[in-house]
Amino acid sequence: MTQPSGSTELAIGQVGLGGITVVHRDGYRIYDQPVVAGFDPSAEARDRFLADTPGASFYESLDDLIVDPLVGVIDLATPHHRSTRLPLIEQIAAAGKPILVQKPLAYSYAEAVEIVEVFEKYGTVGMVNQNMAFTPGSLRLLDAIMTDRAIGEPAFAQVTVQYVFDTDYHPWFGKDDRWWTGALTVHHFGLLQLLFGPPETVYAVTGHDPGQPGVTSDGFGHLLMRYPSGMTVAVTSTGTYYGTDPVPHGNEKIWIQGADGIADWRPEGGLDLSHRGEAGEFSRERITWNPKEKWFPHAFGLTMAHFRAALADGAPPLCSVSDNLYVMAVIEAAYQSSENNRVVPLAEIMGERYDPDYGTGWSHGYSDWVSATLSGVGRG
């Protein structure tokens, strides 16, 4: 894979310097994405940032970071709770600084709309850090399905992730009354939005495993989504599975059936394309990538590289905050569906913001960047 340009224009200021931002910076270094400043009220976070980012500035206030002339884009990695996130976005957007916002965009759909309205008010560019969509393997999948149309028009897809994930070690993961579907399966919703766009309806079952001491809310969420085209997507997603066939987050199974073939894909396990011949025989094609290119930390570097490239070219980024409202609407619909045991139309959640003809998220962002970034893809 070619490494995106690391121009010092639009250099990065990090707001919120928790442990995950160490992975951000690891990825940024791989793809030469310059971090020049940071802000966090925690002394521990400050010390960690300064130790691994020599030459960067640390600021005691957000105001000081925002006015740093070297800071051209903000990496916002604070928790998604409204009381923490909304005031920061308002302050940064008012200053005209583009923002990469850690997913999920918000806790609820209503709160996500509040955030998008802030971006709209100030005319500031925002992208959601849906980093699963920028794993090296995801870029190959997107290129095969969206650019090469390797399986034709998609008709069905299935996502499977099942493993044990408890959060007894963490102060707030799993402690809100929404957890798994909003904070974990959001990764998959972001990728599905790029590939297929928004569904028309959602039916979901969410639940809690009382055997997990660290999760006090939903630990699993299974969805069936139907699309305006007639396509269907089934999602099986759980952090409560301790059986004999784990499929961990980070290497989940996704398969997509189209009019002309099937794609079997795992983020770090390759992409297999299967096609049926006229005589009933099957052909296989395997697409590979460098096994050293992992989700952590490569996807974080590629997400920021995409955002900065889109800004430099004056193009809307993929996974923009407005596009991500559809992701948040799926999450909201899933919780409401499970609570009320009914199919929930996305139009019911989104009102006038729902567009049945929206199409794929891919068609609403800087998709040319993906193909331009890929090189040396192995086929066999």
374 lies in a domain?
no
- What CATH code is carried by the domain that includes residue 119? 3.40.50.720
6 lies in a domain?
no
Give residue 142's pLDDT.
96
Give residue 379's pLDDT.
37
The amino acid that residue 247 corresponds to is V
370 lies in a domain?
no
Question: Domain check: are 343 and 201 in the same one?
Answer: yes
List the structure tokens of 83. Answer: 């009381």
Question: Domain check: are 119 and 145 in the same one?
Answer: no
CB of 202 within 8 A of CB of 225? yes
pLDDT tens-digit profile of 174-185?
A: 888 899 999 999
Q: Comparing 2-16, 163-177, 315-329, which segment has the lowest mean pLDDT?
A: 2-16
Number of domains in the chain: 2
Give residue 168's pLDDT.
86
163 lies in a domain?
yes
Question: Domain check: are 118 and 148 in the same one?
Answer: no
CA 52 centroid distance within chain: 25
268 lies in a domain?
yes
Question: Domain check: are 126 and 238 in the same one?
Answer: no
Does the structure show a pLDDT above 60 at 223?
A: yes
Question: Domain check: are 190 and 252 in the same one?
Answer: yes
Sorting pLDDT into bands at 50, 70 and 90, what band is 371?
confident
pLDDT tens-digit profile of 153-170?
A: 999 999 999 999 998 888
Question: Domain check: are 175 and 106 in the same one?
Answer: no
Question: Domain check: are 192 and 46 in the same one?
Answer: no
Question: Domain check: are 31 and 60 in the same one?
Answer: yes
Does the structure show a pLDDT above 70 at 113?
A: yes
Question: Domain check: are 351 and 219 in the same one?
Answer: yes
- What CATH code is carried by the domain that includes residue 333? 3.30.360.10
Distance CA 136, CA 374 (A): 9
293 lies in a domain?
no
Q: Look up the pTM and report it.
A: 0.96
Sorting pLDDT into bands at 50, 70 and 90, what band is 375?
low
Residue of 226 and 281 predicted with greater confidence: 226
DSSP codes, 235-256: EEEESB--SS--B-TTS-EEEE
Residue 335 is part of which domain span? 136-286+323-355
Q: Return the closest-CA partner of residue 334 out of 230, 240, 237, 242.
A: 237
Question: Domain check: are 198 and 215 in the same one?
Answer: yes
378 lies in a domain?
no
- Across the range 222-232, mean pLDDT stands at 97
Question: Domain check: are 243 and 329 in the same one?
Answer: yes
**Which secondary structure element, helix H or strand E, spans residue 129, and what is its range?**
strand 126-129
Give residue 38's pLDDT.
98
Does the structure show a pLDDT above 90 at 171?
A: no
pLDDT tens-digit profile of 53-80?
A: 999 999 999 999 999 999 999 999 999 9
Question: Domain check: are 93 and 212 in the same one?
Answer: no
44 lies in a domain?
yes
Give residue 370's pLDDT.
87
Q: What percent of the chain has pLDDT over 70?
A: 96
- Across the range 2-18, mean pLDDT stands at 79
